[in-house]
Amino acid sequence: MVRRLSVFGRWESFLLVLVVVTFLLGSASSSAFATSANLSAAAASYTEVALIALPMTLIIIMGDIDLSVGSVVALASTALGRMTMEGFPIGLSVVLVVLLGAIAGAVNAVLVVVLRLPSLVVTLGTLTLYAGLARVTLSAGGVAQFPSFVSNFGSGYLPGTLVPWALLVVVVAVIPFAVVLHSSHLGRQVFSIGGNAEAARYSGVRTERIRFVLFVISGCVAALAGLMLTARLNTASPDNGTTLVLTVLAAVLLGGVSVFGGKGTLAGVVLAIVLLAAVQNSLSLRDVNSNTQQIAIGGLLIFSVLATDGFSRLRAWLQDRAETGRRTGASAGMPGTREPVTTETAG
Amino acid sequence: MSHDPEVGGPGTADVAAGNGATMLASEPVAGPVISLRGVSKHYGGVYAVRGIDLDLYAGEVHALLGENGAGKSTLVKVLGGIHRPTEGSIVLDGEVVDFHSPAQSQAAGISVVHQEPALFPDLDIAENIYQGRYPRRGPRAISWRDVYANASKHLQELGVELDVRAKIDSLSVAECQIVEIAKALSLNARVLVLDEPTAALSAGEVEDFFRIVNALRARGVAILFVSHRLEEIQSLADRVTVLRDAALAVTAEAATLSREELIRHMVGRRLDDLFPKGEARIGEPVLTVRNLTRAGVFNDVSLEVRAGEILGLCGLVGAGRTEIARVLFGIDHADSGTVAVRGETVRIDSPTTAMRHGIAYLPEDRHGQGLVLDWNVASNTTLAVLRSLTTHGLIRRSREKRLAEGYVKDLAVKCQTVAQKVLNLSGGNQQKIVLAKWLATKPAVLILDEPTRGVDIGTKAEVHRLISGLAQRGIAILMISSELPEIIGMSDRVLVLHEGRVSGEFVRVELDQETLMAAATGQVTHDR
């Protein structure tokens, strides 16, 4: 937890370097890249990913996964469209949609936490289930007549700037997530669940409650992202957000969160999102078509896995060397405090 | 025994290098099956073992003793073909051999049974025994009939009744080890290396296990038996070799060395009192359990632990010891019965409520249930008391560090800093960290489940001294242990369980191994 690594040895620093390089290359290859309008648009297009990535980071650190978020986005979008069609006041609709997200998350939580089913399978199931529900909710395709409040939020900026409203939401949301994860006892408990769920339970960590709540939060946040996406596109559609989950997972894993749980930082995830947005945007400016962009992003993800693996090997090697040095020093005076080689056998 | 090495006291036996040669000279029957000649293994400048000579004869049980870090595992790995010695040689039937892989060692007739059996949990016993070398009928087809028939034949040879179609994950640790040994038999092993086979076994299982080892000895297998438990060595081994600090301390006839001498060779110093439970003022009852029952697991268990008292809880594995502890700590739930803390009946439905009532539980599986191995000392120490370290919900790192450093000092944990990962600590120091985690909760009742399992002998005495000190501070301690000397040395009173029921209760003066074993095996029911 308290990782004593030099700044240079951290994955986040490496990501930061990549971000800077991408920005330099982007500016060099297109004069349009480093303009406020372009950066603003690029940021806006990643706000939903960023928002959903926040609870996803915690869930993956906990050793679980929530694949259903993209479908919750679609469900939220169509629910908003349907309620608008039926003449619900917009404020009530927003509250109901977030509540719907909470219910969707709670269904996942009941299956995963209470019935102890694997989250990968459960949320793969609800991914399809919620996507189906979204199509049932709004079978007639898109809805595009929203109150001006909605479209203003979706395409407007903070007064006097080019900062999209949605980005403000993300920035405001990052802070509590980061504080809770990295500074509060709850965050420490989240890490403990991913590090060794059994030991956490035996230490009085309410593992089930924490996991349940996080799945519910994930549903709520996905619904909120669904509202933002609907506003930004000014369209309610069951196709909204269906591919989001892959980008979110790419961002979280590229951000250095261990797919096995127990490790990761929100800073890494935020940097990864910035990196993904910058790469995709600069490729778009170079008129690289979206298929090729997908290849680039896929490649980046594979690269990150290779690089993190290489990183941890390098780190293990360095640590090993350091310890050998220590042991050489210690072995003279201290009769064996530990086995020089530990046995690892599969049980 | 067919050979008669010249051994006097430990003094003469210290010179072990010439032993093998002397034995060969005075031994007309046969030389050793396998010998290590001046074997060293070093990493950089650090020797894991240094200049070891060891002879294993057919039909002998040769015990290998030593503290953690003394080099036992390394030697086992050299024999098993996992490590190649940096210096020295292995001599098999008079010829120098060089093992490049475990497969080569196995092919030469050496089988190693590791402490934690390396079996496939989802396959059955027979499949595990013949994994990778199934008997065939025809070029592609496996002869399943032979697989099962041969597997049951080998199990019968060991005198055990196990269903060869039983899945490994349905077996106990003891049964898994038997499967490993059956596998060794099927390989026609002439040398069998048992790496701490009894560490996870209960007293009754150990007896069965010894029966099997004796049968193998009678068949002429050379057995190297690695163990921590001195009493086992005296009842089982023909000869014993003690390692200390990577070097050979002594090789001698097991009967010629007393327990105290063995310990002295292991630690290089005298441990006068292994189990120093000091006098403590026994106060009011803190934990009172009445008629506690969990259907099919334990029945009608009543017990009382007073402040300053250590209540030992012993019994065979499966007798319900850990199961009772799990219910008291809120991990499992009782079907009936009551639990009271300081006279007040409490309902414990989770570890959190147990902790709120001042109950702490040091679990038996240190790695699985006690520690987050990837975390450092500080984070592990504070995991159960995180909330008390926060202001406005945020953890104060300085407070966390101070708390952890305090316990590291109190418990004399050997670590560089509290930022060191617990993964890199020795078993004994890891156990101290788990203990620290629970002491930080300021418990009124401390349940210790196998507190010294896998802890080396020097640290063991230290852990016992710590436990004794906790009792003196007025903590009520319930101590579960499979090691009878530990139970006898530490407990003020002992409760013995047999098949989920209390089969005996003894006070300190009545304690001896025979009485406890009789109660644990259900031979005697001591009226309470």
Per-residue model confidence as pLDDT tens digits over A91-122: 999 999 999 999 999 999 999 999 999 999 99
Lowest mean pLDDT among A136-150, A249-263, B96-110, B150-164: A136-150
How far is C-alpha B391 from the chain's CA centre? 42
Judged by a CB distance cut-off of 8 A, whether residue B398 touches chain A is: no
pLDDT of residue B7: 38
Mean pLDDT of B375-397: 94
* pLDDT tops 80 at residue A141: no
CA distance B203 to B222: 24
Task: Select the residue of A4, A192, A328 nearest B372 (Cβ to Cβ).
Answer: A192
What is the pLDDT, as a whole number, of residue B270?
45
Q: What is the three-state SS of B277-334?
A: CCCCCCCCEEEEEEEEEECCCEEEEEEEEECCCEEEEEECCCCCHHHHHHHHCCCCCC
pLDDT at position B68 is 64
Of A329, A265, A202, nearest in space to B380 by CA: A202
For all residues of chain B together, what is the average pLDDT? 85
Helix (H) or strand (E) holding B113: strand B110-113
The pLDDT of residue B201: 74
Q: What is the mean pLDDT of residues A318-330?
A: 54
Q: Domain-by-domain residue ranges, chain A?
A: 47-242
Tell me the chain A residues in contact with residue B376 when contact means C-beta distances shorter than 8 Å: 1-2
Residues B118-141, mean pLDDT to the nearest whole number = 87
For the cut 60, the answer to whether the pLDDT of residue A2 exceeds it is no
The shortest CB-CB distance from B69 to any of A198, A323, A336 is to A336
Subunit contact B351:A201, Cβ cutoff 8 A = yes
Task: With CA atoms as reference, report the closest residue to A52 among A221, A240, A216, A187.
Answer: A221
Is pLDDT at A160 greater than 90 in this prediction? Answer: no
Element (H, E) at A321: helix A290-331
In this prediction, residues B275-287 reach a mean pLDDT of 83
Segment B169-218, tens digit of pLDDT: 888 878 888 898 888 888 888 999 998 887 767 777 888 888 889 989 99
Q: Tens of pLDDT along A267-301?
A: 999 999 999 999 999 999 988 888 888 888 888 88
Model confidence pLDDT, tens digit, residues B447-496 = 999 998 878 767 888 899 899 999 999 999 999 998 777 888 899 999 99
Total-model pTM:
0.75
CB contact under 8 A, B77 and A341: yes
In angstroms, the Cα distances linking B16 to A40, B230, B236, B243, B436 are 80, 21, 21, 12, 42
ipTM: 0.83
Q: Is the pLDDT of residue A64 over 90?
A: yes
In 3D, which of B483, B476, B496 has the Cα closest to residue B298? Answer: B496
Cβ contact B43–A324 (<8 Å): yes
Segment B21-30, tens digit of pLDDT = 333 333 445 7
The pLDDT-based confidence of B524 (bands split at 50, 70, 90) is low
Model confidence over B24-60: pLDDT tens digits? Answer: 333 445 789 999 999 998 876 667 888 999 999 999 9
Q: How many residues does chain A have?
A: 347
On average, the pLDDT of chain A sits at 87
Span B273-358+443-528: which CATH code?
3.40.50.300
Kindly state the average pLDDT of the residues B372-377. Answer: 94
pLDDT of residue B471: 94
pLDDT at B198: 77
Residue A182: Cβ-neighbour burial (10 angstroms; 0-12, 13-18, 19+) = middle
Q: Is the pLDDT of residue B523 over 70?
A: no
Determine the average pLDDT of the residues in A145-172: 88
Q: Which helix (H) or strand (E) holds A184?
A: none
B12, pLDDT greater than 80: no
Report d(CA B122, CA B128) in Å as an integer: 9
pLDDT for A155: 84
For residue A209, the distance in angstroms to the closest alpha carbon of chain B comes to 12
Q: Band of the pLDDT at B142, cuts 50, 70, 90?
A: confident
Residue A140 has pLDDT above 90, yes or no: no
- The tens digit of pLDDT for each residue in B78-88 reads 999 988 898 99
H or E segment and range at residue B424: none
Tell me which of B159 and A265 has the higher pLDDT: A265
Q: What is the structure's pLDDT at A309?
A: 73
- The single residue listed with the structure tokens 């049964």 is B175
**pLDDT value at B10 more than 60:** no
- Is the pLDDT assigned to residue B274 strictly greater than 70? no
From the list A282, A262, A281, A273, the residue with the least C-alpha distance to A304 is A273
Q: What is the pLDDT of residue B103?
A: 87
Q: Which of B45, B267, B369 lies nearest to residue A198, judging by beta carbons?
A: B369
Region A203-231: mean pLDDT is 96
Inter-chain touch A202–B397, beta carbons under 8 Å: no
What value does the CA radius of gyration of chain B take, rounded to a whole number of Å?
A: 25
Chain A positions touching B45 (Cβ under 8 A) are 328
Is residue B379's pLDDT more than 50? yes
Q: What percent of chain A has pLDDT over 70?
A: 88
* pLDDT confidence tier of residue B507, bands split at 50, 70 and 90: confident
Return the pLDDT at B276. 65
Token representation of residue B180 = 């490993």
Domain ranges of chain B: 273-358+443-528, 371-442
CA B115 to mean position of chain CA atoms: 8
If you average pLDDT over residues A311-321, what whole number do you get?
71
Cβ of residue B123 closer than 8 Å to a chain A Cβ: no
Residues of chain B with C-beta less than 8 angstroms from the C-beta of A327: 46
Sign, CA torsion A25/A26/A27/A31? positive
Q: What does chain B come to in residues? A: 528
Q: Residue type for A316, please?
A: A
- Concatenating the DSSP letter of every residue in A97-125 gives HHHHHHHHHHHHHIIIIIS---HHHHHHH
Residues facing B95 on adjacent strands: B92
pLDDT in tens, B236-263: 899 999 988 788 988 999 888 887 788 7
Q: Which residues contact A314 (CB under 8 A, 6 or more apart)?
A: none
The predicted model gives B120-132 an average pLDDT of: 90
Interface test with B, best of A5, A339, A342, A345 (most B CBs within 10 A): A339
**pLDDT score at B190:** 92
Contact assignment for A339 to B68 by CB distance below 8 Å: yes
- Above 70 in pLDDT, residue A150? yes
At residue A40, the pLDDT reads 94
